[in-house]
Amino acid sequence: MDQMVEQKKYLLFLGVPDSEFVKKTYGGYHNVFVSLLGDEGEQWDSYRVVDGEFPDEKDLEKYDGFVISGSSHDAFRDTDWILKLCDIIKKLDEMKKKVLGVCFGHQIIARVKGGKVGRARKGPELCLGNITILKDAVAPENYFGEEVPTSLRIIKSHQDEVLELPESAKLLAYSSMYEVEMYSIEDNFLCIQGHPEYNRDILIDILDRVLAGGHITEDFVATSKATLENNEADRKFWQKICKNFLKGQASFLV
């Protein structure tokens, strides 16, 4: 009987090149995402859209869900690859496909759906952050499961933010730094400003690289690294939320 179950297929749009650390430690960001979201027997394909790699539009139909990663690029720019990704998001919206947006992905979906994206008003964030969940807003879709927490910890790495939500969006979480930390649109878009796929080692590597590039100060790095002391992201809970959304497993993952 099991052999008759059709293989689930997912597609990952990568807006970022692999760092040397991620390549050496995990084999690339594709594997980082699949370790969070994948299950045995599934097919996960990825396209490095930042390098102009895109799937053929006629192939989109065969996928059960999509993930748009973070990027060092601004989601509000009109670069060719960003405009092409905007067109694909519109197409996926018309098809009512499930799309999980992470960081840049969260922002570009807001842009496509009529929201406003720009530089973060309170400045960039590279740290372990705490976001407040709007518990009354998570129903009826509820990707959280039976216990909806008041807050969740997540690794943050961004300098832009969603300034205005699309009219069709429902705010799910906010923080002291940003008004829009998480939102959903109907049951086909779930968008998260933080990085559910990141761990402390990936964040530390990013901090060290950005410092070496002269983009942040040593004091900024020290403050950011201090957020990781005796503390960690709620990665398992984020895994549950993202899988519940992508795979409709609200009763499966507790």
Q: How far is CA 88 from CA 2, 91, 139, 171, 234, in A?
A: 33, 5, 28, 23, 31
Token pair listed for 115 = 């929201």
How would you label 130-147 residue by residue, b for 16+ Cβ within 10 Å and e otherwise?
A: bbbbbeebbeebebbbee
If one counts every other C-beta atom within 10 angstroms of the C-beta of residue 241, the result is: 24
Q: Which of 158, 181, 195, 242 is catalytic?
A: 195
Q: Which of 30, 103, 127, 161 is catalytic?
A: 103
94 carries an active-site annotation: no
Catalytically annotated residue among 125, 161, 197, 242: 197
Query: Cβ distance 194 to 103 under 8 Å?
Result: yes
Q: Is there a contact between 77 and 50 (Cβ–Cβ < 8 Å)?
A: no
Report which DSSP code applies to 4.
Answer: G
Give bridge partners of residue 45 from the DSSP assignment. Answer: 11
Cα–Cα dist 179/162, whole Å: 8
To the query of whether residue 186 is one of the catalytic residues in this protein, the response is no
Structural tokens at position 192:
């998260």
Tokens of residue 203, six digits: 């964040």
Whose tokens are 């519940």? That residue is 244
- 73 catalytic per annotation: no
* Beta-strand pair 9-14/65-68: parallel
Give the residue numbers annotated as catalytic, written as ranges: 103, 195, 197
